Amino acid sequence: QFWFCIGILVFSFWYLWRVLKSIQEPDSSSDEESSSSDSSSSDDDDQGRALPNPNDANDLADYVAQRIYWPLPNPTIIRHQVLDVVEGLLDIYGSVIQKTFFPELQSAIGVGSAFEGWSPHEENIVYCLLIPMTAPRGHSFHTELGNEGDLLARNSSIRVELECTCEIKQASEDMLCFLHHSEEELEKQKPSLLDTLCTDSYLDAEKTAKWFQNFVKSAWVLTPQSQVYNVKVLPSTRSCKFQMTSATKRNITIEIIFGVQQGDSDIFLSSQRTEAILTPSTTWPQSCAVAEMKFIQHITTEAWFHTLHLKCMQVFARMLVGTSISTYFIKTVIMHLLTIIPLEMWHRDDFLLRLDDIVRYLQCCLEEKRLNHFFFGNEMIPDVIVLPPAFQFSGPVNL
C-alpha cells in the first residue's frame, strides 16, 4: 500500500507537469499563421499528434505498447469485485452447511491471466478462481495420482473414506459415527459425502460442480451484489460458471473450479477440464495454476516498477489468436526467461530485446521439438513456491 501510494503521487506530479508544460509552451506561430484556415490548423494538429512509426525500430516499442489497452473499467477494480462476490457466497455457504457433510470450502484463489495481470483486451474475459476443499467431519480425502510419467498426473483421483468419530467431542451437537452406528440411527442424520458427491467412493467433479451451481442459484438473493447484478448460471460440467449483468448491461463472467491440495504444496488436484475428449467425472488432474499465480506475483513484487513481462504476455496473447500455438506455451517460455534474464533487464527500454528473446527461445523449442514444463526438475524455482518432492526431483518434462 505504501509503494502504491508513492506511485500514485509520482504519477500525479508527472501528469500535472505535462499539463503545465503544454499550457506554458510559447506559441511560435506568427500572426499571419494564426489566421490560416481551419483545415490547415487541423492538419498541423494531426501531425503534432502523430503516432510512432511502426517501421522505425526506435518507435516500435511505443507503437506496440500504445495499442495494448486494459479492458475498461479498471481490471484491478473488477478483480476486487469478483473476489468480494465469491467470498460473500462462501460466507453464506459456511452458515448453511454446519449440519451437513458437504466439503468445507476455503478462501478462493484467483488464477489465470485475468488475475495474473496479462489478460489481453477482450470483451468476454473470464475471471477464474480455484476454491480449495477439505474433507467434512467424519471424512478424509486421499489423493491418488495418475500413471507414473503422465504429465501432471491427468488421471488422478480423490478417494473419500469415513473416519471414526466416536471419541471426538462435538462442541455444538452430537454427531453419530458413520462407522459405528446403525443405518436406522443414521437416518436421523444428514447423509455422508459418499452418498451425495461421490461415485464408487471417489469424489465426483461433475456432481460437485452441479451441487455448487444449484447453491449459487439459491444463495444469490442473499448477497449484497444481488441488488446491483442479475446472475445467470452458465452451462458447465466440471466447474461453476456464472455471469453477472448490471442494469447498464455490463457483464462479468466468473468461473469457479474446485481443488484438493496435494500435501502442503501449491499443486492441487482440480476439477478443471483437461484437453482429453472424454474426462471421467471422478478424474481430478493435477493443476499448477496456483503455483503459476504465486510465481507471477513474486516476479511482480520483486520488480514492482517493471511489469514488462506482463506486457510481453499480453502482446503474444493477442498475436496468437487464431494460431495453433497455445498462450500457455508462451507463458511457459516467458517464465523460463524470467529466471534466466535479470529482472532489471525487464524494463520498458528493453521491450524489443525481450520480445526478440521470446521469439528466439520459442524458435529453438520448435526446432528441437521440446519445451520443458516450468515446474518439473527446475532448480530456478523461487523458494516462495512449494512443490511436491516428485516435482523437485523429477527430470525435465517436455510439454
pLDDT at 51: 54
Q: Residue ranges of the domains in the chain? A: 75-287
Q: Which of 272, 244, 287, 260 is nearest to 84 (CA)?
A: 244
Above 60 in pLDDT, residue 368?
yes
Exposure letters 103-134 (e unless 16+ CB within 10 A, then b) = bebeebbbbbbbbbbbbbeeeebbbbbbbbbe
End-to-end CA distance of the chain: 38
Rg (CA), the chain: 27
The residue with greater pLDDT, 66 or 346, is 346
| Beta bridge pairs of residue 144 | 157
Lowest mean pLDDT among 31-45, 53-67, 73-87, 216-230: 31-45
Could you say which of 1.10.340.70, 3.40.50.1820, 3.30.460.90, 3.50.50.60 is the CATH number of the domain covering 75-287?
A: 3.30.460.90
pLDDT 10s digits, 353-363: 999 999 999 99
pLDDT at 40: 46
**Average pLDDT, stretch 16-40?**
50
Q: Indicate the residue type of 314.
A: Q
What pLDDT band is residue 26 in, cutting at 50, 70 and 90?
very low
Total-model pTM:
0.79
Q: Rounded mean pLDDT of the chain?
A: 83
157-162 sheet: strands from edge to edge: 139-144, 157-162, 202-203, 198-199
pLDDT at 339: 94
pLDDT 10s digits, 166-213: 876 554 466 788 887 777 777 788 889 999 999 999 999 999 999 999
Backbone phi and psi for residue 140, each to the nearest 5 degrees, phi listed first = -145, 145
Q: Which set of grid coordinates corresponds to residue 214?
A: 444449484
Q: Which set of grid coordinates corresponds to residue 139?
A: 471424512
**Average pLDDT, stretch 217-222?**
94
pLDDT at 22: 58
What pLDDT band is residue 27 in, cutting at 50, 70 and 90?
very low
**Residue 391 neighbours by CB under 8 Å, 6+ apart:** 265, 267, 375, 376, 377
Q: Cα–Cα distance between 115 and 126 in angstroms, integer? A: 10
Q: Cα–Cα distance between 6 and 333 in angstroms, integer? A: 32
